[in-house]
Each structure stands twice: as C-alpha cells, then as structure tokens.
Amino acid sequence: MFRQMRRTKQQLSEQETKAILARGSTGVLAVHGDDGYPYTVPLNYVYKDGKIYFHCAKEGHKFDALMRDDKVSFCVIDKDQVIPDEFATYYKSAVAFGHARLLEGEEAAKAVYDLGYKYNPDPGKVRAELAKDLPRVACFEIAIDHLTGKQAKGLL
C-alpha cells in the first residue's frame, strides 16, 4: 500500500526514525484541504507510545480538514545543514502516514498535558494552562500506519 523508498541506502532504521520523532520540536502536518488542495501546517507535537499528539482550535481549516478526512502525513526535519561547496544539504527527516482521531475527555486532557510538559517541564504551570485553555482546544492522536526516515547521501 505504501511506496518503498527509492534510495534505500539513505533509509534510516526504524529506531533512528522514531528517535527523530521523539526529539523534534516542530513537525509539518499534511491534510486533505479545501477543494482537493493539500493543506500543510507546522505545529508543535509530542510523540509518545508510538503515536503523535497535537492540539488545535475547535474550528478552522485544519480542524475541518481532519474531521472530513482522517488520513494525514506528518514530517519532522531533524537536521538541515546547507553545504554550499557541495551544492547539497545534509538532512535527516522522518515522515509518518496515519489516521488522526479526535480525542475526548480524560484522553484529551492527558495528551494535552503531555504536549504542554514537553515544552514546559513545570507540572504546575502546565496544569494551570490546561485549566485555562483545555475547554477551547481540540486534541488529536495520529496512529501511525507507515513510517520512514531518510538521510542525505553525505551523511552515509
């Protein structure tokens, strides 16, 4: 169902690809947008227990697209170093394909807490922010169906 990577020598191991997801701070979510156009948006996320979690407003382009079609892809760039003399970029990246699911109740609260804690490891501040903002946010979980990682030839 999913294509195999064309440049297999540049493919990262599953372990290294998951490590990219775990240490990344920003990823780009791709959804099926309005009128058949792809829609991509950078966002903060947390990778936990083999799944990707993020939050957004309960209305808007991203939310509407996710409610209309749950298929998504998500990309994280781990390294991005331009090497001018080689006309190359030394990069490492991970791309996940999966299905997004809107979380509710305690499940949503836990995911939003984990997300907040990733970016501010002060539990009290995270809980205070959650108490203030949780009613206004939607939280999604991406169950990964296919995951690949790739690196530049110059890093081999």
pTM over 0.75: yes
Q: What is the residue-level pLDDT of the chain in tens, covering all 156 positions?
A: 887 878 778 899 999 999 999 999 999 999 999 999 999 999 999 999 999 999 999 999 999 999 999 999 999 999 899 999 999 999 999 999 999 999 999 999 999 999 999 999 999 999 998 888 888 899 999 999 999 999 998 888
Q: Which pLDDT does position 16 carry in this prediction?
A: 96
Rounded to whole angstroms, how far apart are CA atoms 32 and 13? 29
Q: Which pLDDT does position 3 carry in this prediction?
A: 74
Q: Which pLDDT does position 7 carry in this prediction?
A: 78
Q: Residue 87 — φ and ψ, nearest 5°?
A: 50, 50
Place of tokens 């808007």: 60
Contacts with 81 (C-beta within 8 Å, 6 or more apart), sequence order: 89, 90, 91
Place of tokens 């169950």: 143
Select from 3.30.499.10, 2.30.110.10, 1.10.760.10, 3.40.250.10 the CATH code of 8-104+138-155: 2.30.110.10
Q: Contacts by 74-79 with C-beta closer than 8 Å and gap 24+?
A: 74/27, 74/28, 74/29, 74/30, 74/45, 74/98, 74/142, 75/27, 75/28, 75/30, 76/20, 76/21, 76/24, 76/26, 76/27, 76/28, 77/24, 78/20, 78/23, 78/24, 79/151, 79/155
Q: Which pLDDT does position 59 carry in this prediction?
A: 93
Place of tokens 């209305």: 59
Q: Which pLDDT does position 11 carry in this prediction?
A: 92
Rounded to whole angstroms, how far apart are CA atoms 72 and 32? 8
Q: What is the dihedral of CA 53, 28, 77, 137, to 10 degrees?
A: -30
Q: Which pLDDT does position 49 carry in this prediction?
A: 96
Q: Residue 98 — φ and ψ, nearest 5°?
A: -170, -165
Check if the beta carbon of residue 141 is closer than 8 Å to that of residue 100. Answer: yes
